[in-house]
Amino acid sequence: MNKKIKWGILSTGHISNKFAKALAILPQAKLIAVASRNLSKAKAFAKEHNVIKAYASYKELAEDHEIDVVYIGTPHSFHFDDSVLCMRNGKAVLCEKAFTINADEAREMVRIAREENVFLMEAMIPRHIPLLKKVMQWIKDGKIGEVRMLKASRCARGVFAAGARHLDPSLGGGSLLDVGVYVISFASQIFGKAPIEAIGLSHIGHLGSDEQGIAILKYDKGELADLSFALRTNAVDEAYILGTEGCIKIHEVFAVPTKASLFIDNLEVETLEEPIIGNALNYEAEEVMRCLQKGLKESALMPLDESIEIMEVMDTIRKPWALRYPNDKE
Ligand SMILES: NC(=O)c1ccc[n+]([C@@H]2O[C@H](COP(=O)([O-])OP(=O)(O)OC[C@H]3O[C@@H](n4cnc5c(N)ncnc54)[C@H](OP(=O)(O)O)[C@@H]3O)[C@@H](O)[C@H]2O)c1
């Protein structure tokens, strides 16, 4: 039988709590340590999630020899530093989306993973959702012919506490990196290549970050993606994959869906339904552990070069916007 994989969680915010709950339902996972910038927060998290070790610094967690893999749940602006800290200490890393702030950081992070010969993966949930895997099979089977267009939306009107990371440019806040990354990553998955053109418009709100945006991507054979993303605007978050012979609708919420429909000539001819088990983060944790058990250094479901390409597309889209992050070189 495969040995248990020992996890550490770096930071104690919203998504780290969800990730701890996800690990709790996986028999092959053991969450053994958590770190916070603040010992009392680490201890409270450890108590709630039944974790043995609570550290008062991320460095102590990175240096713990017992840990196999670290989950990075800090704001985007720290993904590079926190992932590198862990990888330089020989740890495998699952890093939250957006992978980094910009493509420069992404390229360097991947270079370091390869230099250290450690596993690294961007935590992009949709890649691991069972229903979306079946949708990808529909496409491979030619059910909609040649894929020509994609329309996808990832929008919500969030209620954020004062100082929350979501719209704070100093923490990489804004809709493009926070939720736009889902639709851009989805376009990359559907078309299986990088776009030849990427343009976008956004509204920069009073906090100095993009509250909503639209991106259009064009691919080498004329394929197009029409993508919307927002943190302060309501929407029905569906996706439509349009082909020469038919169309696939992924019902709300497209990033974590349970239903997809196949339309031929505007008639629904097939439906897929598949429940989400757990809180969905368990699927990506399972993929990490599958890769670690096999000695793989990256996952074919979210390849590292593709994570870099996605950051390059987002850099291109936001270049004309009045939006620069502290981590940007120019
Ligand atoms: N996959 C998903 O479904 C999903 C959903 C939500 C968020 N995310 C991603 O997860 C990351 C964290 O999001 P979140 O919503 O969990 O954020 P959050 O609730 O604000 O938590 C972030 C944590 O990062 C740590 N941190 C370190 N330096 C910080 C700083 N200067 N300011 C604020 N926090 C700092 C803090 O932990 P300590 O105080 O313990 O050090 C904090 O609790 C983001 O990159 C986001 O895109 C993913």
Task: Going from the first residue of the chain to its last (330 residues), give the mean pLDDT of each consecutive group of 10, the final group possibly shorter.
Answer: 90 98 98 98 98 98 98 98 98 98 98 98 98 98 98 93 91 97 98 98 95 98 98 94 98 95 97 97 98 98 98 97 88
Hey, what are 160's tokens?
């954020």
What are the start-end ranges of the H helices in the chain?
A: 14-24, 39-49, 58-62, 79-88, 103-116, 130-140, 175, 181-191, 281-294, 304-318
Residue nearest to atom 36 of ligand 1 (CA): 11
Report pLDDT for 3. 86
Cβ of 287 closer than 6 Å to ligand 1, yes or no, is no
Report pLDDT for 119. 98
| Ligand 1 pocket test target in 15, 237, 311 with most atoms within 8 Å of CB | 15
Cβ of 14 closer than 6 Å to ligand 1, yes or no, is yes
Cα–Cα dist 186/183, whole Å: 5
Domains, the chain, in order of start with CATH, read 5-123 (3.40.50.720), 130-275 (3.30.360.10)
Report pLDDT for 61. 98
| pLDDT single digits (tens) 29-87 | 999 999 999 999 999 999 999 999 999 999 999 999 999 999 999 999 999 999 999 99
For residues 234 and 156, the answer to whether their CB atoms sit within 8 Å is yes
Q: Which amino acid is at 14?
A: H
Residue nearest to atom 4 of ligand 1 (CA): 15
Peptide bond into 103 cis (omega under 30): no
For residues 235 and 228, the answer to whether their CB atoms sit within 8 Å is yes
Report pLDDT for 39. 98
Name which of 174, 135, 150, 121 is nearest 287 in CA terms: 121
**Which residues, listed in sequence order, are joined to residue 55 by a DSSP beta bridge?**
35
pTM > 0.95: yes
Cβ of 13 closer than 6 Å to ligand 1, yes or no, is yes
Sequence-distant (≥ 6) Cβ neighbours of residue 255 within 8 angstroms: 125, 126, 129, 154, 182, 186, 237
Hey, what are 221's tokens?
């054979």
| pLDDT single digits (tens) 208-230 | 999 999 999 999 999 999 999 99
Hey, what are 180's tokens?
């736009």
The DSSP code for 180 is I
Pairing of strands 259-264, 267-273: antiparallel
